[in-house]
Amino acid sequence: MNKAWKNALRSGSFEKLAHLFSTGADINARDEHGQTALMNAARVGHSQVVEWLIAHGAALDHTAKYGLSALMLAVVNGHRDVVRALVDAGADTGLCGSGAPGFAGRTALDLALARNDSGMVEILGSESVRKEDSSGPKPP
């Protein structure tokens, strides 16, 4: 991820983002921490930028340090509106963190439960139920 892309993300300038995107910037480029633009916007709770990135084809399920995805970063940082946007867009709620106490083996729902955030639990729990229902009947 180049400096201009980072600055556009940091400022939340849709005009700059659109210009960079239209001139070939990689929407899924990673920064020095292995995070994509979507992950960075989700981490800081910039919901409008998250929605713009989703609308322009950002990959929803990339992971970086500790196996955290954009959805998991939004949960950890308490950004319920971003969690809703990512779940509605189809982010994988079943991804598990890795490598660090507190994240290893935990899904976004597990992280929301650990935060005791009932709103996020409701969003993520409803999505888990929908995914189970769509996978067909469970064997006895």
Q: Return mean pLDDT, the chain.
A: 88
Cβ density class 95-130: b for 16+ within 10 Å, e for less:
bbbeeeeebeebbbbbbbbeeebeebbebbeebeee
Angle at alpha carbon of residue 71, lines to 51 and 137, rounded to 5°: 110
Q: Does the pLDDT at position 64 exceed 90?
A: yes
pLDDT at res. 127: 60
What is the C-alpha to C-alpha distance for residues 83 and 119, in angstroms, rounded to an integer? Answer: 10
The ranges assigned to domains in the chain are: 3-134
**What does the DSSP assignment read for 49-85?**
HHHHHHHTT--S----GGG--HHHHHHHTT-HHHHHH
pLDDT-derived band of residue 137, with 50, 70 and 90 as boundaries?
very low
Strand partners, 97: 104
Domain 3-134 sits in CATH 1.10.150.120: no
pLDDT, tens digit, 9 for 90 and up, residues 65-101: 899 999 999 999 999 999 999 999 999 999 999 977 8
What does pTM read for this prediction? 0.87
pLDDT, tens digit, 9 for 90 and up, residues 97-120: 997 788 999 999 999 999 999 999
